[in-house]
Structure 1
Amino acid sequence: MSATVQKAADLLATATATGTPCPPIRDLFTAGDIDAAYEVQRLNNERLLAAGHRLTGRKIGLTSPAVQRQLGVDQPDFGALLASMALADGGSVPAGRLLQPRIEAEVALILGADLTGPDCTPADVRAATAAVRPALEIVDSRIAGWDITIVDTVADNASSGLFVLGDEQVSIEEVEPADIAMRMYRGGELVSEGTGRDCLGDPLNAAAWLASTLARRGEPLRAGDVVLTGALGPMVPAAPGDVFTAQISGLGSVTVSFAEVTASFAERGEAS
């Protein structure tokens, strides 16, 4: 473990603990050193697992061309999903839980079998998928002002925050992920839309990329894992009092709200 990886991991961990975003960490590394960034991610996730958190799956990021344009990157990445990141459908994000939340709608796969091969195909993913559910990912950045490159977001657990799985689920035989259409609303206002083809051409393509990448790293996807396959449309900033609902054809809907900041909370300046 290099001192630089340790320093970057400590900066991100401190930002989480204090609720104060840190400067970009990319300048600590050689430009574009994604391998080092994944080492930072791994170190902080190992710390969380050692503290009692439980790995429940993985998320794929930067699969939508719209999101890639927003962040100025040109390839997907991945991060860990912990059980503590999950919110119930219709649940509320506590005030102060996240630093700079944004939200996006996705297709979630629930695996019924392991995916261990380094050359996983979309057909392999289809065969291993036990259920498909609508999802909202609430992304967050420990980097001030979302001033990120691929190195920053990878190190920061792919800018993970929280996630919400819709209560409805269908079998993979009942839906074609590439053909689904998504609309996400803030209250009654349409704020993001897209299709399954906006996620690397097909959410199953994204999941196959993830499975292959993790297998080559010796960390394969396992039965029971949740896989968030990536944004179907542009991510949207979230503010206290917002209520978001994503409607995904063939899958149903999923909703989350963001708690208002109370006067006493604001006066105390404390995290929820």
Structure 2
Amino acid sequence: MREVDRATAADLLVEARRLHQPINSLTERFPDLTVEDAYEIQARQSQQRLDSGRVIKGRKVGLTSAAMQRQLGVNSPDFGVLFDDMFFPEHEPIAPALFLQPRIEPEVAFVLKRDLQGPGITVADAIRAVDFVLPALEIIDSRIADWRITIADTIADNASSGGVVLGGSPARLADVDLRLMGGNLFGNGDLVATGAGGAVLGSPLLSLVWLANTLGDRNAGLRAGDVVLPGSITSAQPVRPGDTWSAHFAGLGSVTTCFAKEAR
């Protein structure tokens, strides 16, 4: 893919966010778009946000379930960047207008107490780097119309990142079994999805290991204080104005967020 096309693709995504108007799939416009091109397009947008004063607060991992990998025809996760303006306080209404076509996912968030950078990171290394875990809700969003995405589309679009809501009940890794821990997702009081930590690459810790090693291959890494979202334990659910969403995790607690009603 030509450098000028990478720049054009990044500008299209930036404008889609600014104008609140989804665009057609990038892979339709740029048939030669590769995964490596997509990460370069993501990096261009990240640098623009850093230049505008935003601060990186962590990373997210996507495509961690076997079902999603089959759907997009891939056998590996992807990652995106979490910026400071993507974090929303629990219980405070979120304006739906901040997103284009949001969906919500329940996750267990890692908060790191030390740097973690590959290659060669093991599960033991990851465990030593984790300070605590929190219940979390990730708001995913797509600047690609109707979520008609390929792996390259979602990577270029910052792994379809939207927002993060963190719960306030931290737990040590020794006190929870992330692999077997079950979780329920409630929408407006109704149970809409259930899952367990094992849906995330077999264990959310393996997702953290994958991320640290993948970033290391790109001469990047995770830093102390970073929040890492390892992937959803259930399928993503569409969000509507006025919705209230809660995730309850066995042995960890719950997290709740709500979306404001649309202004008339």
TM-score bin, normalised by smaller chain: over 0.9
Corresponding residue for residue 108 of structure 2 = 107
Q: Which residue of 2 aligns with 1:92?
A: 93
CA, structure 1 residues 162+16, in 2 after alignment: closer, same or farther (shift >3 Å)? same
**Equivalent residue runs for 1:73-152 within 5 Å:** 73-152=74-153
- Aligned-pair distance for 1:69? 4.9
* Paired position in structure 2 for 1:44: 45
Per-residue deviation at 1:97? 0.6
CA distance in 2, matches of 1:125, 1:250: 21
Q: Which amino acid aligns with 1:44?
A: Q
Please identify runs of 4+ aligned residues in structure 1 that moved more than 6 A: none
In structure 1, distance between residues paired with 2:190 and 2:71: 21
1:107–1:132: 8 Å Cα contact kept in structure 2? yes
Residue-by-residue CA offset, 1:161-215 (whole Å, 9 max, x unaligned): 0001101101111112112101000022111211010000000000000000001
Q: Aligned pair 1:258/2:238, yes or no?
A: no
Equivalent in the alignment of 1:172: 173
Q: Which moved more, 1:12-21 or 1:69-78?
A: 69-78
Could you tell me which residue of structure 1 aligns to residue 24 of structure 2?
A: 23
Residue 4 of structure 1 pairs with residue 2 of structure 2? no
Q: Quote the Cα distance in structure 2 between the aligned partners of 1:30 and 1:74.
A: 21
Name stretches of at least 5 consecutive residues in structure 1 with no aligned partner: 264-272
Could you state the TM-score of these two structures normalised by the residue count of structure 2?
Answer: 0.96
Query: Percent sequence identity over matched residues?
Result: 44
Matched, 1:226 2:227: yes
Distance 1:136 1:72, change over 3 A: farther
Matched position secondary structure for 1:120? coil
- SS state of the match for residue 105, structure 2? strand
- Report the TM-score when normalising by structure 1: 0.93
Mapped to 2, the partners of 1:237 and 1:72 lie a distance apart of: 23
* Deviations, residues 86-120 of structure 1 (Å, cap 9, x unaligned): 01121222131100000000010000011123021
Q: CA deviation at 1:64?
A: 1.8
Equivalence for 2:190: 189
Counterpart of 1:58 in structure 2 is 59
Greater mean deviation of Cα atoms: 136-145 or 31-40: 31-40
Q: Secondary structure at the match of 1:152?
A: helix
The one-character-per-residue Cα deviations of 1:21-72 (angstroms, maximum 9, x if unpaired) are 0111113445561000000000001000000000000000011224445655
Is the CA contact 1:73–1:149 (under 8 Å) kept in the aligned structure 2? no
Distance 2:209 2:31 in 1: 29
CA contact (8 A) 2:118 2:215 kept: no
Structure 2 unmatched runs, 5+: none
- Output the CA distance in 1 between the equivalents of 2:162 and 2:38: 18
* Kept after mapping to 2: 8 A contact 1:63/1:76: yes
SS at match of 2:96: coil
Q: Is the 8 A contact 2:118 2:214 kept in 1?
A: no
